[in-house]
Amino acid sequence: MIVDTFLVSLGVIFLLVMVYLAFLAVASFWPAGKQRPCPPRYRFAILIPAHNEERQIGATLEHLLAVDYPAGLYEIIVVADSCRDRTVDEVRSRGVTCWQYERGEDRGKGYVLQWAFPRLLARGDHDAFVVLDADSHVDIGFLRAVNSRFCQGARVVQGYTQVRHPERSVLESLAFLGFALNRNLRYRGRSRLGLSANLMGTGMCFTREIIERFGWPATSMVEDIEYQMFLLLHGVRVVFASDARISVELHRSRQASARQRARWDMGKVNVRNRFLGRLLRRGFGRGDLRCLDGAMELLLPPFAILFFLGILGFVLFSCRWCHCHPCMRYTWLAGILLLLAYTGVGLVSARAGTRVYRALLSAPLFVLWRLKVVLQEIWRGRPGSRW
């Protein structure tokens, strides 16, 4: 009886989650407002925290130096965080400013930003700030796209990130799928509905007003999610700019990828513990849909885990010893069908290549691997390293 009740409750929750995701997917195809042409106006400081990035930083800077934006209206600043390689030399050899940050245990992007923003504000010669990872290659029109959003009233903008080599390995192909589902469907859907998009670590853009008002209080393992929830509680919306494109390099080895995903997963748990209650109180107390949507984002498990729960629930519900009403089996089935449709729409909208579709054959093994990563970190009770 207890097992049956649990499965019924879990099935209803699973279906509601999939209806929510399907609604965002449908909204992602709604017509967007017209982007009015806006000449370059904002003076950007592009901030790149880097830790031992001598192999990646050169190409990142070359892409930034080639953007279609007046050279006098943007400045690149790399902050070398406790680097023990040639990162500083690589940066300065290209005529780019490099600050060196040495703070012992206070390492990681969040602490670097907390240290760097006051120094940039004190100079007073920038209207907006862009935060990029050291392996990010921006599209030639990136700054123009962000400039246009700011000219139209946005105060925080998130660019569109995608995997650089989706067909190089199975892990990168499946990561491409995850990025497609998030960026093309969830984040773009939220943007079309007037909700707040997600901050994603790289490609985060802020007007000077935002940094002057709030500074950078986010220093957790997932400083982007932490700052996003902080902004939501203060009524600030993140605008998603699908034409401000960035490609990122992912880890190819399972060990490095596992450490990175463990940091994301457990970091999100910590942020959920801190912000979920406040988001729900503000959401229900003031009727703030953006805060309720933010709470929903914190409650969503990784997509691979959601897929695993859906299949497991359906299998258990189909067992003969389960005495619930047969219609509940169709609840699980409906949720799984929505899950498959959601995945298919994401792949089509991202124009995935054939290698990505072939990688789906390895999806069951990937799901089990993701489950193993989550369970290991829950058992250890701690996230991975900051870098």
Per-residue pLDDT tens digits for 142-162: 999 999 999 999 999 999 998
Task: Tell me the CA distances in angstroms from 171 to 122, 154, 175, 178, 348, one per residue in order.
Answer: 43, 35, 6, 11, 19
Mean pLDDT over residues 58-68, rounded?
Answer: 95
Query: What pLDDT score does 387 carry?
Result: 47
**Higher per-residue confidence, 73 vs 344:** 73
Does position 6 have pLDDT exceeding 50, yes or no? Answer: yes
State the CATH class of domain 44-271.
alpha beta
The pair of structure tokens assigned to 95 is 């005529």
Query: What pLDDT score does 385 carry?
Result: 46
Q: Identify the band that residue 317 occupies on the pLDDT scale cut at 50, 70 and 90.
A: low
What is the per-residue pLDDT across 259-287, written as a single tens digit (0 to 9) for each?
666 667 778 888 999 999 999 999 999 99
Q: Contact, 288 vs 282, CB < 8 A? A: yes
From-to residues of CATH 3.90.550.10 in the chain: 44-271
Does position 64 have pLDDT exceeding 80, yes or no? Answer: yes
Does position 321 have pLDDT exceeding 70, yes or no? Answer: no
* Strand ordering across the sheet containing 128-131: 97-101, 74-81, 44-50, 128-131, 204-207, 156-163, 238-248, 137-138
pTM of this structure? 0.88
Task: Tell me the CA distances in angstroms from 253 to 10, 79, 169, 176, 265, one per residue in order.
Answer: 34, 27, 9, 15, 18
Does position 293 have pLDDT exceeding 60, yes or no? Answer: yes
Does position 212 have pLDDT exceeding 50, yes or no? Answer: yes
What is the per-residue pLDDT across 96-153, written as a single tens digit (0 to 9) for each?
999 998 876 677 899 999 999 999 999 989 999 999 999 999 999 999 999 999 999 9
- One-letter amino acid for residue 224 of the chain: D
Query: What pLDDT score does 171 carry?
Result: 78
**Higher per-residue confidence, 387 vs 55:** 55
**Higher per-residue confidence, 166 vs 22:** 22
Query: What pLDDT score does 343 carry?
Result: 86
